[in-house]
Amino acid sequence: MPVDAPIRTEPRAPVRGSVLGVRAAPLHVVAALAALVASVPLLYLVVRVSDAGWSRVLDIVVSPRTGVLALRSVGLALAVALTCMVVGIAVAWLVTRTDLPLRRTWLVVAALPLAIPSYVTAYTWLAAFPWLEGPVASWFVMVMACTPYVVLPVAAVLMRLDPSGLDVARTLGLGPVAAFRRAVVPQVLPAAASGGLLVALYTLSEFGVVSLLRFDTFTRVIYTSYRASFDRTTAAVLALVLVALAVVFVLAERRVRGPGSRWRTDRGAARVAQPLRLGAWRWPALAAMCGFYALAVLFPMAMLGVLLLRGRPGVDVGEWAAAIGSTVLASGTGALIALLLAIPIGVLAARYRDRLASAIESVAFLGFALPGVTVGLSLVFLGITIAPVLYQTLAMLGFAYAVLFLSTAIGSVRSSVAQVPPVLEDVGRTLGHGPLRTWSRITLPLVAPGIAAGALIVLLTAMKELPATLMLRPTGMDTLATELWTRTSVAQFGEAAPYAVSLVLLAAVPALVLARLAGRRQEG
């Protein structure tokens, strides 16, 4: 069993003439249109930049300032990624393969940083220590927020790693350390590297943390130069350079992970390994875990509580309720648009294996490679010059969310549809139902939970989105994220608290629903 197995376990049967009763050609066309629409922000940015003239573009790209920005952004991304890998592997190993006290609880705790948006973490630290700023503070906050991206996949690999591999290595003459290095590490490394590259990618496109901590990386400079100057060519060129850097990380991550595969827990019941006895190291290890998660989880949570209690007098309840309403409305619109774009692409990817289908599916890639700042900037340009009707509308903001989180939506549609064998539709047809009735009575009930789950994840992620929201929200509309941002920027930490807490709580609702859906699917 290779370490990374594709989520789609079996190849589709020979390509059929029709899918869900739709003839091949129309589905391809609809999916291609959806992919084209999703690529508009990138395409328009390229058009806009090339309008500026190549000599001008070249001046900006090769300027010393751009070089410094690139060094800062890439340096921060790599530093955060490496730290997360070291911490993440250690934590994953402690919670899966040793006799650390309360191992199961620790595994849950290790995932908790995911529940707190990274700029909320930055906000809590700033509220406690308002003098915090610069590269080291940014690095620290990003590490606190990002370790789960390494811990979770590595722990998953370690948990299903067959312990007999280690035994065999020992019988072949290796000492315990050498056996671990040669039999276990190579299996864990792809997961850790892939997680690390994802961390690097998130750090590269992170806007809230570096802006709050006043560290000038690409994202912050793009945003400030968009706000500050009439000539927005610089912002556009820098945004494209950022895309290029992001693409490098995305490609590297794919290379490490292998084609079309995802981490997953294996069906085969892994033998339970004898946990390693930490002996005298048991309590120091426990202390280290407590210390780390006190900083990463306990501190931000406690700080939120404190700030909430302290800041009560300054809160305008009406404003707060309006922000919740706008957040749900905007991210809901985003989830809806994402679904509309993702359904044709996901169904096509699940049922067709031809080259056109995989080319169309690769727009999912866009969401990873386009930072929120870039999408926001491109759509601002588009709104001002081509579609003033759409500028600063809910639809435009929703569209930005849809592009940013399209890959999640496509992934959920694709895997849901792929789990319905085409033979079920065949049987339905022979039982006297036409294609549409067959689809609605068999395929739809089977795929609906999975697709709904995907929409919920998009909703959850979009609620936390900051840069595109700042740039594209309709005038006068504030979401939880922008309210938090505005208040924190002017050091009104107490007034920001209710927004930060609601953001964490709201984000937890879809997570709970998801967990229940997953549980029900496992039973059924």
Partner 1 sequence: MAAIEVKELHVAYGDKAVLHGVDLVVEDAAVTAVLGPSGCGKTSLLRVVAGLLRPTAGRVSLGGAVVVDDGIWVRPERRRIGIVPQEGALFPHLDVAGNVGFGLPGSRREKSVRVAELLALVGMAGTGSMRPQELSGGMQQRVAVARALSRRPDVVLLDEPFSALDAGLRDEVRADVLAAIRADGAAALLVTHDQDEALSSADRVAVMRDGVVVQEGAPSDVYGSPVDLGVARFVGECVELPLLADADGSLRTALGAAAGPGGSTGVAVLRPEELVLSEPGSGADGAPVRIVSVRYHGHDCLLDVVLPDGHVVAVRTLGSTPWRPGDDARLTARVPARVLA
Q: Does 354 bind partner 1 (CB under 8 A)?
A: no
Please list the helix, strand and coil fractions of the chain in percent, rounded to the nearest 5, in that order.
75, 0, 20
Rounded Cα distance, 333 and 39, in Å: 19
Q: Does 445 bind partner 1 (CB under 8 A)?
A: yes
Shortest separation between residue 194's beta carbon and partner 1, angstroms: 32
Q: What angle do CA 322, 308, 501 make, to 5 degrees?
A: 55
Q: Which two tokens mark 477?
A: 């509309």
Longest Cα separation, the chain = 73
Rounded Cα distance, 509 and 520, in Å: 17
Tally of CB atoms within 10 A around 499: 28
**Cβ-based nearer residue to partner 1, 388 or 445:** 445
**Cβ-based nearer residue to partner 1, 445 or 519:** 445
Q: Does 279 bind partner 1 (CB under 8 A)?
A: no
Shortest separation between residue 353's beta carbon and partner 1, angstroms: 13
Rounded Cα distance, 106 and 216, in Å: 35
- Binding partner 1 (rule: CB under 8 A), the pick from 47, 290, 359, 424 is 424
Which of these ranges, 136-144, 290-298, 373-381, 439-447, lies near partner 1 under the rule CB under 8 A? 439-447
How many Cα atoms are found within 13 Å in the side-chain-facing hemisphere of 261? 18
Q: Which two tokens mark 463?
A: 């609620």
Q: Does 275 bind partner 1 (CB under 8 A)?
A: no
Q: Does 24 bind partner 1 (CB under 8 A)?
A: no
- Cβ atoms of 123 and 488 within 8 Å: the answer is yes
Strands (E), 9-57: 18-19, 22-23
Shortest separation between residue 441's beta carbon and partner 1, angstroms: 8
Shortest separation between residue 409's beta carbon and partner 1, angstroms: 22
Encoded one letter per residue, x for contact with partner 1 by CB under 8 A and - for no contact, window 175-214 reads ----------------------------------------
**Cβ-based nearer residue to partner 1, 17 or 259:** 17
Q: Could you say which DSSP state residue 276 is in?
A: B
**Cβ-based nearer residue to partner 1, 255 or 516:** 516
Q: Does 519 bind partner 1 (CB under 8 A)?
A: no
Residue partners of 206: CB distance under 8 A and separation at least 6: 118, 142, 219
Q: Does 421 bind partner 1 (CB under 8 A)?
A: yes
**416: helix, strand or coil:** helix
Q: Does 426 bind partner 1 (CB under 8 A)?
A: yes
Q: Tell me the sheet residues that pair with 98.
A: 276
**Cβ-based nearer residue to partner 1, 65 or 441:** 441
Shortest separation between residue 362's beta carbon and partner 1, angstroms: 24
Shortest separation between residue 22's beta carbon and partner 1, angstroms: 15
- Binding partner 1 (rule: CB under 8 A), the pick from 2, 11, 17, 64 is 17
**Cβ-based nearer residue to partner 1, 58 or 427:** 427
- Binding partner 1 (rule: CB under 8 A), the pick from 71, 185, 387, 427 is 427
Rounded Cα distance, 511 and 505, in Å: 10
- Binding partner 1 (rule: CB under 8 A), the pick from 75, 284, 434, 519 is 434
**Cβ-based nearer residue to partner 1, 259 or 524:** 524
**Cβ-based nearer residue to partner 1, 427 or 508:** 427
**Cβ-based nearer residue to partner 1, 55 or 430:** 430
Shortest separation between residue 428's beta carbon and partner 1, angstroms: 7
How many Cα atoms are found within 13 Å in the side-chain-facing hemisphere of 91? 30
Rounded Cα distance, 301 and 309, in Å: 13
Q: Which two tokens mark 462?
A: 């979009």
- First vs last Cα of the chain: how many Å apart? 26
Burial class (CB in 10 A: 0-12, 13-18, 19+), 192: buried
Which of these ranges, 108-116, 341-349, 432-440, 501-509, lies near partner 1 under the rule CB under 8 A? 432-440
Which of these ranges, 195-203, 329-337, 344-352, 437-445, lies near partner 1 under the rule CB under 8 A? 437-445
Binding-site size, partner 1 (CB under 8 A): 21
- Cβ atoms of 69 and 238 within 8 Å: the answer is yes
Task: Tell me the torsion sign for CA atoms 330, 242, 224, 70.
Answer: positive
Q: Does 446 bind partner 1 (CB under 8 A)?
A: yes
Which of these ranges, 8-16, 106-114, 228-236, 330-338, lies near partner 1 under the rule CB under 8 A? 8-16
Rounded Cα distance, 396 and 334, in Å: 9
Q: Which long-range contacts (CB under 8 A, 24 or more apart) does 13-16 make?
A: 13/422, 15/352, 15/353, 15/354, 16/351, 16/422
**Cβ-based nearer residue to partner 1, 172 or 431:** 431
Amino acid at 189: L
- Binding partner 1 (rule: CB under 8 A), the pick from 55, 171, 430, 522 is 430
Q: Does 302 bind partner 1 (CB under 8 A)?
A: no
- Cβ atoms of 106 and 155 within 8 Å: the answer is no
Encoded one letter per residue, x for contact with partner 1 by CB under 8 A and - for no contact, window 372-411 reads ----------------------------------------
Q: Which two tokens mark 394?
A: 């809910």
- Binding partner 1 (rule: CB under 8 A), the pick from 11, 64, 318, 524 is 524
- Interface residues toward partner 1, by CB under 8 A: 14-17, 421, 423-424, 426-434, 441-442, 445-446, 524
